[in-house]
Amino acid sequence: MSEQNDLDVLRHSTSHVMAEAVLAMFPEAKLAIGPPIEDGFYYDFDLPRSLTPEDLGEIESRMRESIAAHKRFVRREVSREEAGELFADQPYKLELIRDMEEGEVISTYSHDGFTDLCRGPHLDNTGQINPQAFKLLSIAGAYWRGDEQRPMLQRIYGTVWATQEELEAYLRKLAEIEKRDHRRLGRELDLFSIHDEGGPGLILWHPKAGRIRTIIEDFWRQEHYKAGYEIVYSPHIGKAALWQTSGHLDFYRENMYAPMDIEGQEYFIKPMNCPFHIMIYKTRMRSYRELPLRWAELGTVYRYERSGVLHGLMRVRGFTQDDAHIICTPAQIEDEVLGCLDLTAHILGAFGFKEYEIALSVRDPERKEKYIGDDATWEVAEGSLVKALERKGLSYTRMEGEAVFYGPKIDVHIKDALGRLWQCTTIQFDFNLPGRFDMTYVGSDGQEHRPYMVHRTLLGSMERFFGVLIEHYSGAFPVWLAPVQARLIPIADRHNDYAYQVRDQLKEAGLRVEVDDSNERMRAKIRQAQLEKIPYMLVVGDREAAEGTVSLRLRTEEDLGPRPVAEFIKTAQEAIAEKRDI
């Protein structure tokens, strides 16, 4: 058994011990599910009152008593009727039993007087759980089976490891994650906000974040033009017929917002940009000599997300995709996918992401009704993506059933400073829309042919990527992205004029700079600049004014002493050109 499987068994067993403790505290509790998850476990409960953080300590104490008793886990297979009797007072378990397929094995696991419906496996006994290596972490709400129309349950999250040292290391990592939380840093650094008055999941970018976004978008456009793309723009709404033709109303309707009536016609706010790009393509007949066409757009789209899954910048209802569509001949498809992979590595590398993992998402062969297209077409599509990955020598994980309804895709997951993976780039093969919209081109034989189409995003969405950047850099953005690159700090009021002279020099050199001419003391000004994570602090006083220098301090608290203004400008420009952290 692998180390991860061992941990999964440990975590699943610990979730049962937790459920035992909760049931002892609340005999009328209704039990839902309690699976192992990455780095821990959870269990969902329907309880007579809301849990408090203080309850977690009581639950942990009861768990340690169960662990100390070395209670044996016992597996038993039961009939559907017997299972119904065992869980007669547990409605969620009864629903799970009803949903099991006829003939499916139904098993329970018991330790002492606690019995749960469970496939297992489990440890031999509770004593195999290290009482110093687990901790209950938090309480959250969770809809039964993820359906907001079903009851809201209380979910207890916990973690457990083989050793106390591993637990402590994980808790330190959690503390670092909390310190880097983009929602907290977004408030502290005045970057963005979300308001109930405006609507959940809708982001307001503040001036500093707006500056960063502009820098990102300018860089993105520059690199796309270099890579042979053209930039297009499309509207935010489209007639229902457009989304019917594309297949979105049949396959994606639950993620779209309600239609609006305009002069007796139904219009939908767009969940994707692709049908509009196709409309541009179809304005005239195309020749094979024009292909490939690479059209990119920073297009804002809107998708319905349940309020329970919204999460800062990471899960929103309105977001701007760095979208692109490549329309090409069948012979060009592999090279175009390779070009996407190369551009991905280049652009993500510029933001400091050098490590990533790749997933190839393919259809579920047992549920072909979820997808458009015949077997032969899917095989060609999957084969093209596989060949491109193999030509680049890239390893990947095959993800069965994760393809979108119109074709397979490649997902690139970048690794951040804490080793967490974030899905950004998606490269999707689409043989659906060219047929649905009757896209053609005239080939070298003078006949009409069907083009292939690639959908791709590199950053994913501006909102989510910005959230990842905040957490990756803990808000201390590299110099080229920092909204304010340098702050001039005059020691006294008499130094303000010199500070503004230097500011003008730095602005002329293309730097983003401001002067702190407040009445605060110098050390307070320096501390404030460090809290705002400004890369450079330039202190100026009598000596600096006399010598034409600035006293350079870094946000990392290093004091580099006096520097001629021209020398500082060169230092900053080099850091920007090389996209260094500082």
For residue range 147-166, list pLDDT tens digits in order. 878 999 999 999 999 999 99
* Burial degree of 412 (CB within 10 A; 0-12, 13-18, 19+): buried
Question: 446 — alpha (psi -120 to 50), left (phi > 0) or beta?
Answer: left
Strands 293-302 and 448-449: unpaired
pLDDT band at 398 (very low <50, low <70, confident <90, very high): very high
Radius of gyration of the CA atoms of the chain, in A = 29
Mean pLDDT of 223-234: 98
Mean pLDDT of 371-379: 81
Cβ neighbour number for residue 342 with a 10 Å cutoff: 12
For residue 315, what are its two tokens?
């899960």
Strand partners, 415: 421
- In the numeric block, the tokens 């040292």 are attached to 165
Cβ neighbour number for residue 198 with a 10 Å cutoff: 11
Average pLDDT, the chain: 95
**Cis peptide bond N-terminal to 207, omega within 30:** no
Q: What is the pLDDT at residue 368?
A: 77
Position 377 pLDDT exceeds 90: no
Q: Range(s) for CATH 3.30.980.10 in the chain? A: 3-170
Position 193 pLDDT exceeds 50: yes
SS3 453: strand
Q: What is the pLDDT at residue 372?
A: 74
Q: Which fold has domain 192-234+270-473?
A: BirA Bifunctional Protein; domain 2 (3.30.930)
Count how many Cα atoms sit within 13 Å of the Cα of residue 156 in the half-sphere of its side chain. Answer: 29
List the single range of 10-19, 109-118, 254-263, 424-433 with lowest mean pLDDT. Answer: 424-433
More confident: 393 or 377:
393
Strands 192-193 and 152-160: unpaired
CA distance 534 to 501: 20
- What type of residue is 169? A
List the single range of 88-92, 115-119, 250-254 with lowest mean pLDDT. Answer: 250-254
- What type of residue is 304? Y
Q: Is the CATH number 3.40.50.800 carried by domain 486-577?
A: yes
Q: Check if the beta carbon of residue 110 is closer than 8 Å to that of residue 76.
A: yes
Position 1 pLDDT exceeds 50: no
Q: Check if the beta carbon of residue 463 is closer than 8 Å to that of residue 310.
A: no
- What type of residue is 443? G
- Residues in contact with 436: Cβ distance below 8 Å, sequence separation at least 6, in sequence order: 245, 246, 247
For residue 331, what are its two tokens?
């012979």
Q: What is the pLDDT at residue 450?
A: 95
Q: What is the pLDDT at residue 575?
A: 97
Q: Check if the beta carbon of residue 135 is closer than 8 Å to that of residue 60.
A: yes
Position 48 pLDDT exceeds 50: yes
Residues with catalytic function = 274, 303, 321, 323, 325, 409, 455
CA distance 474 to 180: 5
For residue 338, what are its two tokens?
């390779």
For residue 273, what are its two tokens?
């940009």
The H or E element containing residue 250 is helix 248-251
pLDDT band at 2 (very low <50, low <70, confident <90, very high): low
Mean pLDDT of 227-231: 98
pLDDT band at 261 (very low <50, low <70, confident <90, very high): very high
List the single range of 4-8, 227-231, 297-301, 359-363 with lowest mean pLDDT. Answer: 4-8
Mean pLDDT of 62-80: 97
Position 375 pLDDT exceeds 90: no
∠ CA 48-52-55, rounded to 5°: 85
Q: What is the pLDDT at residue 364?
A: 86
Q: Range(s) for CATH 3.40.50.800 in the chain? A: 486-577
Position 62 pLDDT exceeds 90: yes
Q: What is the pLDDT at residue 378?
A: 86
Q: What is the pLDDT at residue 147?
A: 83
* Burial degree of 254 (CB within 10 A; 0-12, 13-18, 19+): exposed
Position 567 pLDDT exceeds 70: yes
CA distance 503 to 8: 58
List the single range of 18-32, 186-200, 242-256, 482-496 with lowest mean pLDDT. Answer: 242-256
CA 272 to chain centre: 18
pLDDT band at 209 (very low <50, low <70, confident <90, very high): very high
pLDDT per residue over 267-300, tens digit each?
A: 999 999 999 999 999 999 999 999 999 999 999 9
For residue 447, what are its two tokens?
């006949």
Q: For domain 3-170, which architecture applies? A: 2-Layer Sandwich (3.30)
Q: Check if the beta carbon of residue 303 is closer than 8 Å to that of residue 256.
A: yes
CA 152 to chain centre: 25
The H or E element containing residue 174 is helix 164-180
For residue 167, what are its two tokens?
């637990």
Count how many Cα atoms sit within 13 Å of the Cα of residue 382 in the half-sphere of its side chain. Answer: 21
